[in-house]
Amino acid sequence: AQKITQTQPGMFVQEKEAVTLDCTYDTSDPSYGLFWYKQPSSGEMIFLIYQGSYDQQNATEGRYSLNFQKARKSANLVISASQLGDSAMYFCAMSPRIGAGSYQLTFGKGTKLSVIP
């Protein structure tokens, strides 16, 4: 079974500052994928970034980077130069990478990020 833990229900960050959203995970799968999604108040799920468990380098996508520490089972999202439009719920999720099965995503409880002007 897979489990995602996000311990920060809410976070505040000043506009233009960087912020780190925490995510830890637990799994017995030898290979897995880690995802971050943004959910604005409209409800849509916006894919931000992906990290494979065997990827040697931390993933980056524009202002988003994933601080992947495999030994600590953490996959923190770093948002640089925060913008007002970054205010939203952020979900960490994971799935098995290979093997039989439905490859379903398991989500954390989410972190509500508020960017202060």
CB 46 to other proteins: min, Å = 8
Among 84, 103, 114, 116, binds other proteins (CB under 8 A): 103
Interface mask (CB under 8 A) for other proteins, residues 20-39, using x and -?
-------------x-x-x--
Maximum alpha-carbon separation in the chain: 47
Q: Is 107 in the site for other proteins (CB under 8 A)?
A: yes
Q: Is 114 in the site for other proteins (CB under 8 A)?
A: no
Among 1, 28, 43, 99, binds other proteins (CB under 8 A): 43
Among 36, 65, 91, 113, binds other proteins (CB under 8 A): 91
Among 72, 100, 102, 117, binds other proteins (CB under 8 A): 102
In 1-110, beta strands by DSSP E: 3-5, 10-14, 19-21, 24-26, 32-39, 46-52, 60-61, 64-69, 74-79, 88-96, 106-107
Q: Which amino acid is at 16?
A: K
Closest CA to 2 of 114, 115, 97: 97
